[in-house]
């Protein structure tokens, strides 16, 4: 997997934080996560994403699946959630998606 050096993501044990180009950023406490999804969009410069559904939000937060630190962040977040958060759609067809984790 090639790394997207324009953005990075980290999990510090409490919150998941993404840092993107031109100062774009978001952060969400892990206890507010409702689900984690992986998706491939129809078009665009970046097509492979990880989406984080958040309690109390109508939209999801997303980050490129190949963002710098994604593997480490998902591994640490998975340990926190007692779940395996693995990505499988790097070469997925446009429009494909899958649920990686959902709160029960």
What is the mean pLDDT, run by run of 10 residues, along the chain of 104 residues? 72 97 94 96 89 92 95 97 96 95 90
Domain architecture of the chain: domains with CATH:
4-84 (2.30.29.30)
What is the pTM assigned to this prediction? Answer: 0.90
Relative to beta strand 4-11, strand 48-54 is: unpaired
Q: Is 76 helix (H, G, I), strand (E, B) or coil?
A: helix
Nearest CA-CA partner of 70 in 23, 15, 7: 7
**Distance between alpha carbon 3 and the CA centroid of its chain, in Å?**
14
CB 89 within 8 A of CB 38: yes
């Amino acid at each position: 997997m090639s790394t997207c050096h324009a953005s990075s993501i980290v999990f510090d044990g409490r919150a998941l934080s993404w840092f993107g180009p031109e100062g774009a950023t978001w952060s969400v406490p892990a206890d507010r996560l409702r689900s984690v999804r992986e998706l491939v969009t129809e078009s665009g410069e970046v097509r492979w994403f990880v989406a984080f559904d958040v309690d109390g939000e109508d939209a999801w937060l997303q980050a490129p699946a190949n963002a710098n630190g994604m593997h480490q962040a998902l591994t640490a977040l998975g340990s926190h959630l007692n779940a395996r958060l693995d990505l499988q759609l790097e070469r997925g067809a446009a429009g494909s998606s899958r649920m990686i984790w959902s709160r029960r």
